[in-house]
Amino acid sequence: MGHIRILGAGECGLPLAHRLLRAGRPVTLVAARDAAAVLNGTVTSTQVKFPATLDLESAAGLGHWRSVAPEIRGIRLAAVMDGQRILGWTGRFTRPAQSVDQRTVFARWLTDYLDAGGDLEIGDPPVAEIDRRAGEYDLTVVTRASGELAACFPADPGWPAPGRPARQLAVLYLEGATPDPDDLGIYVSLPGLGEVISYPGLTGSPGQERRCEMLLIEAIPGGPLDVFDPHHPPSEQLRRARRLLETYLPADLADRYRTAELTDARAALTGAVPPAVRRPVGTLPSGRPVLGGGDVVCRMDPGGAQGANNAAHCAETYAAAILACPDGPFDRSWMVSAATPWLTGTAHHAARWTAAVLDPPAEMQQFMLAAQHDPALANAFADTFARPADMVRFTAARNADTAPLG
């Protein structure tokens, strides 16, 4: 029975390690930080997990927050210019989504993994060491990579070459924000400027979680929303966020955050996500193949709300493929066949959806306009965040003038 090494302890690596460990497979997980360091670190991103992802986590014994995290029941969408709504509607999810601070999640999952007898290594090994040690394992799965290791995975020629990030990002976790009265997330498009996205979630130490509001400001680079500097302290990030909300949002939305404060001293993050779609099989300097997963292979801006979901489905697909082939060989051909269902069934749809949300094509814009007057269309649009493959189906239905999707 082959021994598996997993590099990266995030939304893909941790569930994959848990699934293999529970099935009795020898597995070694390599994490950059231990649970305490993760919990006491800076927020890592925003994340909305949709029902299919929550179901996967529950099935793997990882859904600790399913009954306690606030439910996100849909989207309150608005397009705003000069502080005034020019478009607005509410779309309901078929089943609610949820969000939990990744610091909370990863700390708990790391602790659970160790308690279950999992083999954990703490560190960030260089490519030369990864290459050398790959010979000790039957399969190496890379779910976290940057720089030299990421370069081992060639760009997928079927996708546009990665360019600059579409947005500059500011993430703030807040307490004291006024909750949405209908348990909805908000998605505000500011044409020519960017987006403001906000929804409820949980943060805090495992067992001591508390409600918060997760705010994501997406700025078109160089535009008026692009005012955040990673060198500024969190208090300054909050001050700038408040000023932007008061300047560009309608008063009723901006007022929700007027007295909000950061949940903790590390509850603000700025940066950008260069999109990338890569081939799932990387080649180390020795020529050994390694299997890539999660955002190593398909990395997207968080504005499409796909990253955590994409990673979770990758973990489930890879675990099933490994468990179906207990003795290997985990060669290059096997790696391609293991990754293909995830890529074609989940990742590529998610990447297309994210690109479309940030730069809506004409068909999507027409659909969004029509949704103002048709709740079924609004619900269909909201649910496409949970099922990105539906994007083609509902635009085709709209163009063919067929009945809207419910």
Residue 361 has phi, psi (to 5 degrees) of -70, 170
Share of the chain above pLDDT 70, in %: 96
pLDDT interval class at 393 (50, 70, 90): low
Cα angle, residue 137 at apex, residues 134 and 140 outer, rounded to 5°: 60
Residue 96: count other Cβ atoms within 10 Å of its Cβ.
Answer: 16
CA angle 82, 84, 90 (to 5 degrees): 135
Q: Which two tokens stand for residue 400?
A: 């063919």
211: exposed, middle or buried (Cβ count in 10 Å: 0-12, 13-18, 19+): middle
Give the confidence band of 400 by pLDDT, cuts at 50, 70, 90: very low
Segment 388-395 mean pLDDT: 72
Average pLDDT, the chain: 93
Mean pLDDT lowest among 54-58, 82-86, 315-319: 82-86
Take residue 265 and report the two structure tokens written for it: 């001293």
Q: What is the pLDDT of residues 280-310, one digit of tens each?
A: 999 999 999 999 999 999 999 999 999 999 9
Q: Which residues contact 225 (CB under 8 A, 6 or more apart)?
A: 168, 190, 193, 194, 217, 218, 219, 244, 248
Helix (H, G, I), strand (E, B) or coil at 24: coil
Name the β-bridge partners of 270: 170
pLDDT in tens, 167-191: 999 999 999 999 999 999 999 999 9
Q: Residue 391 — pLDDT band, cuts 50, 70, 90? A: confident
Query: Which residues does residue 27 pair with via DSSP β-bridges, in sequence order?
Result: 4
* Cα 174 from Cα 179, distance rounded (Å): 11
Please write the tens of the pLDDT for every residue from 130-165.
Answer: 999 999 999 999 999 988 999 999 999 988 876 789
Q: Tell me the pLDDT tens digit for each residue of 186-238.
A: 999 999 999 999 999 999 999 999 999 999 999 999 999 999 999 999 999 99
Range with the lowest mean pLDDT among 33-47, 59-73, 101-115, 155-169? Answer: 155-169
At 303 the pLDDT is 92
- Rounded Cα distance between 375 and 90, Å, is 8
pLDDT tens, position by position, 91-124: 999 999 999 999 999 999 999 999 999 999 999 9
pTM confidence score: 0.93
DSSP letters for 226-260 = ----TTS-HHHHHHHHHHHHHHHS-HHHHGGGTT-
Contact 98, 53 (CB under 8 A): no
Q: Is 14 helix (H, G, I), strand (E, B) or coil?
A: helix
Q: Is 95 helix (H, G, I), strand (E, B) or coil?
A: strand
Tell whether the model's pLDDT for residue 16 goes beyond 80: yes
Residue 406 confidence (pLDDT): 25
Question: What are residue 316's phi and psi, to 5 degrees?
Answer: -65, -40
pLDDT of residue 104: 98
